[in-house]
Amino acid sequence: MSSPSSPRSPEDELTQSEAERYDRQLRIAGFGRGSQLKLKRAKVAVVGAGGLGSAVLLYLAAAGVGRIKVVDDGVVELSNLNRQILYTTEDIGRPKPEAASRRLRELNPEIEIEPLQEKLTDENAEDLLKDVDLAIDCLDNFETRFILNRACVSNSKPLVHGAVYGLEGRLMTIIPRRSPCLACLIPRKPKEAAVVPVLGSLAGLVGALEALEAVKLLAGLGSSTAGRLLVIDGYDLSFYWIDVRRDPSCPICGEKWWIEER
Amino acid sequence: MRTIVKTFATLREAFGGRGVLYLDLPDGSTIKDLLKALRGCGSVDELDDLVEGRSSVKVLVNGREITYLAGLETRLRDGDVVAFIPPVAGG
Ligand SMILES: [Zn+2]
């Protein structure tokens, strides 16, 4: 949804105000105008607009990702505000995608935000993903994560997975059919917790890393965490990298879907 | 010999919120023996799944995942740090 006051500027050049807004990142070695234009032309789905989503959305909007879908079926609650830094106390009771869009448009009126007040399901997933370059997992439960994983694999959309618990975080990027998927990483679905403990700064940390992964994938920079799970232990601030192998018998991305690199 | 066990997330909670446990095990013990000893500290479904072979809990010995070592038969040495890392789903 384009805001009426700011018609979109051409996709193959940066306006003067864009050049100024993104000045500090345009100076990053290996980034430059070409990368910025890739971000400008990109479309992403941020699935979940809670603690992880707050950081992801703020950083992607600030970085100039051109079109961002905000998918969440919740409303802002008081108990969200320890970690969901996108919202204010005034937003309590408002649908999250709507409150998020308002805040993000204030931050960056030069991009398009598409608020989608819905829960991701097997039925709507394909529709939500068909026109995006990648999806970012900012969900708060296993079940919907597995729906997102399945949809990303079957629609060949890269997925940046992040999750938090207490003072801990997890991060892994999934490139469908080329790297292990969420079901390879988590072969046995764990029990869902009714309420998950989370410190806001951990959600911010993991969300910031997810935004970094997304920007790199979109702009074609660096290497991703595909096939490598990052485990963050905030108690003593230790970081563990775990190599994750694809599961040939994975029901989601198993053998029959695998294409060998040549 | 002494084994240092680091527990994460729900497993940390299952073992009383302490992130680190110290267990004295007979020399030559394996991960499987450690799991048996941990059972004595409280029954945890996720650890039982490990014994059965299909689990979502990552087990690291001194930072290396046991699937790259000898799996559940990986032998422990005095002072080894074993981490049990379950998946999490908060956001
Ligand atoms: Zn898989």
Q: For the segment A19-50, what is each residue's pLDDT rounded down to a tens digit?
A: 999 999 999 999 999 999 999 999 999 999 99
Question: Stretch A123-146: mean pLDDT, rounded?
Answer: 98
Question: Stretch A149-172: mean pLDDT, rounded?
Answer: 98
How many whole angstroms separate alpha carbon A138 and alpha carbon A144? 10
Closest residue in A to B13 (Cα–Cα): A166
* C-beta atoms of A164 and B90 within 8 A: yes
Tell me, yes or no, if A210 comes closer than 8 A to chain B by beta carbon. no
Which CATH superfamily hosts domain B2-85?
Beta-grasp domain (3.10.20.30)
Domains of chain A plus CATH, in order, are 14-261 (3.40.50.720)
Tell me, yes or no, if B53 comes closer than 8 A to chain A by beta carbon. no
Q: What is the pLDDT of residue A7?
A: 53
In B, which residues are within 8 Å of A51 by CB distance? Answer: 90-91
Tell me, yes or no, if A251 comes closer than 8 A to chain B by beta carbon. no
Is the pLDDT at A259 greater than 90, yes or no? no
* C-beta atoms of B88 and A198 within 8 A: no
Q: What is the pLDDT of residue A218?
A: 98
Per-residue pLDDT tens over the stretch B19-55: 999 999 999 999 999 999 998 777 677 888 888 777 8
What is the largest distance, in Å, between two alpha-carbon atoms of chain B?
42
Q: A54 C-alpha vs ligand 1 centroid, how far in Å?
A: 28
* C-beta atoms of A52 and B67 within 8 A: no
Question: Stretch A187-198: mean pLDDT, rounded?
Answer: 92
Per-residue pLDDT tens over the stretch A62-79: 999 999 999 999 999 999
Q: Which residues pair with A70 in a beta bridge?
A: A46, A115
Nearest Cα residue to A86 out of A214, A194, A211: A211
Q: What is the pLDDT of residue A255?
A: 72
Q: What is the pLDDT of residue A1?
A: 46
Site from B5, B6, B7, B8 to mutate, A interface, most A CB atoms within 10 angstroms: B8
Tell me, yes or no, if A231 comes closer than 8 A to chain B by beta carbon. yes
A22-61 in b/e form (b: 16+ CB < 10 A) is beebbeeeebeeebbbbbbebbbbbbbbbbbbbbbbbbbb
Q: What is the pLDDT of residue B40?
A: 79
* C-beta atoms of B56 and A186 within 8 A: yes
Q: By percentage, how much of chain A surpasses pLDDT 70?
A: 94
Site from A86, A188, A241, A243 to mutate, B interface, most B CB atoms within 10 angstroms: A188
Q: Work out the minimum CA distance from B25 to partner chain A, whole angstroms.
A: 25
Nearest Cα residue to A44 out of A150, A204, A160: A160
Q: A169 C-alpha vs ligand 1 centroid, how far in Å?
A: 21
CA angle A42, A48, A49 (to 5 degrees): 90
Q: By percentage, how much of chain A surpasses pLDDT 90?
A: 90
Average pLDDT over chain A, rounded to whole? 94
Tell me, yes or no, if B68 comes closer than 8 A to chain A by beta carbon. yes
Q: Which amino acid is at A208?
A: A
- The pLDDT confidence band at residue A3, using thresholds 50, 70 and 90, is very low
* C-beta atoms of B90 and A185 within 8 A: no
How long a stretch of residues is chain A? 262
Q: Work out the minimum CA distance from B37 to partner chain A, whole angstroms.
A: 23
Q: A60 C-alpha vs ligand 1 centroid, how far in Å?
A: 27
As for the ipTM of the complex, it is 0.94
